[in-house]
């Protein structure tokens, strides 16, 4: 058995837990919207056509904010297509995913769905094929109270009060040659700065997100951030980051260490942003919106004649196994660890498309394996993120070199006194004995609840026929005595341990 340890002390905090860390993403892509969140003919559909089984799972997942309407889709989107009488809305080509968009769901419908789901909306603007004027128009439609033409149009369409969107993405992945309206860093930076200035003239308190690199493997990574931020630094609050992970050539060891790359990504963006801030002699500390992240088997995806120019074709409907869920849990650990700078994040996507929730048209909805670490972390991570430095054996990986077998983060809620430890064991063949001294906690702690996601079959998945094949279970052999937490972690497992004040 391997041995790992780290010390917890409430004095060593990183930052408060940001609820926006537990965001999701709804794009007009595949079946995320149509037969995902929206299916008027479904037995559970409400009066607005939304699947109530999906709404219930969204609430259980603990989603705080949802990025909408894209994604690559947004770079060719005309927001006006999704307002007013549905019968009058045009059918358009979506060049991003080579499908047809009916616009049956647009701003008005999605905002109603968001209200029912209890989530904040992060609205993505089209800076691929459009620009400043259209950004101002959609902001006016969404947020201006009355008397202007677009505010009165919104009211005529049934929304008397403004939607009050505060977070706007200034485009999507415009560093990528695949993006409709792909731009150089200078071209994008100028447009983003102009758009941000105009939006702030309308609402100075908006939170604006500049487009960062689509991945840390982009040839322009870091140089893109540097050039864009030199043009936008004073006008924006966030720079975005996107990352997807999958095993390559059966290399599970490297896949389980994917959070090492996420840590590197965040640290590199922070260093670049701070360098630009220093150059500009600014005291401002830019934040990161990690608004696309997940496990995505990109090698499996390709468009086919069966999906070309169809309405809501089934694309990128990855079926997630146990190893995928452990990786998702470890990526959440990384995001929490960087809570001083990463204060918003969106797992992509919510339903069907590389998603924790799956549905069948006219049929059931169920939780994929990756649903569980997200839902539990969202529910238990409260208060402050504590600084954790695990002492753990290392193991060799082809992609990341030697990495710790055990990785962890913890949170402490000063109000309730609860302490929660989130931990992964990346070893494929050895359990790990974890010892955590609880220095500095005045009140004695006891085990309140434990969860672990582990299965001897790393390929086990949940399906419509067997939706609870993989579920979290109580973690056995967990004790608190003599000021120490002790636990045994199974190989390839993600676990959460909540401690509460004794008595």
Give the CA distances from residue 200 to residues 132, 205, 367, in Å, rounded to whole numbers and listed in that order. Answer: 12, 7, 40
Beta bridge partner(s), residue 210: 239
Alpha helices (runs of H) in 297-350, residue ranges in sequence order = 322-337
Location of structure tokens 């979506």: 94
Q: Which of 338, 341, 347 is nearest to 294 (CA)?
A: 347
Give the CA distances from residue 120 to residues 20, 113, 163, 306, 346, in Å, rounded to whole numbers and listed in that order. Answer: 9, 11, 10, 35, 12
Cβ–Cβ under 8 Å, residues 103 and 92: yes
Phi, psi of 502 (to 5 degrees): -65, 140
CB atoms inside a 10 Å sphere around CB 480: 19
Location of structure tokens 């064991």: 425
Cβ–Cβ under 8 Å, residues 258 and 327: yes
Could you give the CA distance from residue 370 to residue 356 in angstroms, rounded to a whole number? 5
Cβ–Cβ under 8 Å, residues 73 and 178: no
Could you give the CA distance from residue 337 to residue 407 in angstroms, rounded to a whole number? 11
230 given a catalytic annotation:
no
Phi, psi of 4 (to 5 degrees): -140, 155
Could you give the CA distance from residue 376 to residue 207 in angstroms, rounded to a whole number? 28
173 given a catalytic annotation:
yes
Q: Say which of 173, 227, 308, 415 is annotated catalytic.
A: 173
Could you give the CA distance from residue 181 to residue 39 in angstroms, rounded to a whole number? 32
Q: Say which of 292, 306, 360, 389 is annotated catalytic.
A: 292
Q: Which two tokens stand for residue 276?
A: 């630009």
Q: Which of 345, 375, 330 is nearest to 58 (CA)?
A: 375
Could you give the CA distance from residue 190 to residue 169 in angstroms, rounded to a whole number? 15
The residues annotated with a catalytic role in the active site are 173, 292
């Amino acid at each position: 058995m391997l041995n790992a340890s780290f010390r917890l002390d409430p004095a060593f905090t990183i930052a408060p837990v940001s609820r926006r860390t537990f965001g999701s993403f709804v794009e007009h892509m595949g079946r995320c919207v149509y037969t995902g969140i929206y299916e008027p003919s479904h037995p559970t559909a409400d009066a607005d056509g939304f699947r109530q089984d999906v709404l219930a799972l969204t609430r259980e997942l603990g989603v705080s904010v949802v990025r909408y309407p894209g994604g690559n889709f947004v770079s060719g989107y005309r927001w006006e297509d999704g307002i007013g009488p549905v019968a009058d809305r045009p059918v358009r080509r979506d060049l991003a995913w080579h499908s047809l968009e009916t616009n049956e769901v647009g701003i008005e419908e999605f905002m109603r769905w968001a209200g029912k789901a209890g989530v904040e909306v992060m609205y993505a603007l089209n800076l691929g094929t459009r620009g400043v004027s259209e950004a101002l128009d959609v902001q006016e439609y969404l947020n201006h109270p009355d008397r202007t033409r677009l505010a009165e149009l919104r009211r005529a369409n049934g929304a008397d009060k403004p939607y009050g969107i505060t977070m706007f993405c200034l485009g999507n992945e415009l560093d990528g040659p695949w993006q409709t309206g792909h731009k150089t860093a200078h071209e994008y930076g100028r447009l983003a700065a102009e758009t941000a200035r105009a939006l702030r003239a309308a609402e100075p308190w908006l939170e604006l997100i500049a487009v960062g690199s689509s991945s840390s493997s982009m040839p322009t990574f870091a140089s893109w951030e540097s050039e864009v931020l030199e043009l936008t630094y004073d006008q924006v609050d966030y720079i975005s980051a996107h990352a997807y992970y999958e095993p390559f050539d059966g290399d599970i060891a490297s896949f389980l260490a994917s959070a090492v790359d996420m840590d590197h990504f965040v640290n590199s963006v922070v260093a670049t942003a701070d360098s630009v801030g220093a150059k500009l002699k600014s005291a401002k500390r830019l934040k990161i919106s990690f608004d696309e992240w997940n496990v995505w088997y990109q090698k499996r995806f390709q468009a086919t004649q069966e999906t070309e120019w169809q309405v809501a074709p089934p694309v990128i409907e990855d079926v997630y196994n146990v190893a995928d869920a452990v990786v998702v849990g470890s990526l959440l650990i990384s995001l929490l660890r960087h809570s001083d700078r990463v204060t918003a994040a969106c797992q992509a996507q919510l339903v069907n498309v590389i998603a924790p929730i799956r549905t069948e048209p006219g049929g059931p909805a169920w939780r994929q394996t990756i649903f569980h670490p997200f839902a539990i972390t969202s529910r238990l991570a409260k208060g402050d993120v504590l600084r954790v430095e695990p002492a753990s054996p290392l193991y060799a990986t082809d992609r990341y070199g030697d990495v710790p077998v055990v990785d962890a983060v913890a949170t402490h809620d000063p109000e309730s006194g609860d302490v929660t430890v989130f931990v992964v064991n990346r070893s494929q063949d050895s359990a790990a004995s974890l010892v955590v001294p609880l220095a500095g906690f005045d009140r004695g702690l006891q085990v309140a609840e434990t969860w672990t996601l582990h299965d001897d079959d790393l390929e086990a998945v949940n399906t419509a026929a067997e939706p609870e094949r993989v579920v979290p279970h109580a973690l056995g052999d967990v004790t608190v005595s003599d000021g120490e937490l002790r636990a045994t972690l199974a190989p390839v497992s993600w676990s959460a341990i909540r401690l509460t004040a004794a008595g």
